[in-house]
Structure 1
Amino acid sequence: MEVKELIKLAKKGDDGAFYELMQLHKVRLLKIAISYLHNEVDALEALQEVTFRSYRSIKKVKQPEYFSTWLIRIMINYCHDQIHKKKSIADTSLLDNIAETVNYNQPLEIEEALEKIDAHLREVIILKYYHDLKIKDIAEILDSPESTIKTWLYKGLKALRDQLGERGGINV
């Protein structure tokens, strides 16, 4: 069955169709959660919460072609909320749980350099290069013009180069 048809059925209350949609998207959503939360347990909890939130508000999806973008946006918003909660409870770095992170085959230097650049720039880099999203999709998720996303990507890569250059690190 096509994704658009599944979305129509899910909007009408078909639990089976919603379940299939979530099965199609769960790996991508989990990867996004891990890249933000740096902890597999927290990422699984995020996936569970996003599933609940999307189930509760599936009827708000106006255009089926943007369903994936809508889900990713819910995940990113949830991850941002969790990061802010953790920072307010205890002033801990996102790298505290580095031993529990999934290996994306990038050197630790890149991970540390990413943490030191502006949040908007980091977010665009993560969505573009870790999750292989298109500029158009990133613009939709972050509710920003494509030109802004391109600028943030350019500035983010420059900042990343500068961070890695300070350490005598890898050329990006």
Structure 2
Amino acid sequence: MAADERLVKKAIKGDDSAFLQLIELYKIDLYKTALSFLRNEEEALEAVQEVTYRAYKNRKSVKEPSYFKTWLLRIMINYCNDQLKKQKRVILNDEILNMQGAAESHTKIELKDAMQGLDDRSREILTLKYFHELKIKEIAETLQCPEGTVKTWLNKALKALREKLEGNGGDLHV
């Protein structure tokens, strides 16, 4: 059994020290996730605090210790999506722009416009795949759905992004 799984089991049983060690272990991942969604350092830090509180409050609901990180990221994604809905803001990852090789500012603007036109799930899938570099299996665990569904959603998200870029006269290849 991995050391972090032992910590998870202790945390579930009420060991506050173990829970804090786990948060310390995953705080960078939580922060990166929040920052990629919220695009604001202060809001991302606030999100980490809120998600830490929510995770602490609900730590006994973790069923599988090996999926603790996935469970934490799911809480963060849900929190960020709720915040974005409240603020009616649209997310965009500069990292996705860079990974797609969009170096020129007009191309970045085209990609930003195209990303804004995507639904929440498509942006979420693209974020997990290209910003967090998660594998299909990991995305499926995070979103609690079959791998085939993730593949379908990813293909649809990429197709929708491609169509929006081509519709804007963009020459960016996704």
- CA deviations 1:78-98 (Å, max 9, x no partner) are 1111111112xxxxx436xx8
Partner of 2:72: 71
Equivalent position SS for 1:22: helix
Aligned match of 1:129: 130
Matched, 1:171 2:173: yes
Query: Identity across aligned pairs (percent)?
Result: 50
Q: Corresponding residue for 2:12?
A: 11
Shift of 1:118: 2.2
User: What residue in structure 1 maps to residue 120 of structure 2?
Assistant: 119
Letter in 2 for 1:170: L
Q: Deviation at 1:58?
A: 0.9
Deviations 1:118-142 (A, max 9, x none): 2212211111111111212222222
For residues 168 and 77 of structure 1, the distance between their equivalents in structure 2, rounded to whole angstroms, comes to 32
Confirm or deny: 8 A CA contact 1:38 1:94 kept in the other structure. Answer: no
Residue 82 of structure 2 aligns with which residue? Answer: 81
Q: What do you get for the CA RMSD once the two structures are aligned?
A: 2.0
| 2:64 partner letter | Q
| CA distance, structure 1, for counterparts of residue 169 and residue 50 of structure 2 | 39
**Corresponding residue for 2:33?**
32
1:30–1:111 Cα change, 3 Å: farther
Question: Could you tell me how far apart the structure 2 residues matched to 1:70 and 1:31 are?
Answer: 16
Structure 1: 4+ residue segments shifted above 6 A = none
Q: Which amino acid aligns with 1:40?
A: E
Residue deviations 1:23-68 (CA, integer Å, cap 9, x gap) = 1111111111111111111111110000001011111111111111
Residue 135 of structure 1 contacts residue 149 of structure 1 at CA under 8 Å; is this kept in 2?
yes
After TM superposition, the score normalised by the length of structure 2 is 0.84
Q: TM-score normalised to the size of structure 1?
A: 0.85
SS in 2 for 1:3: helix
Gaps of 5+ in 2: 103-107
In structure 1, stretches of 5+ residues that fail to align are 88-92
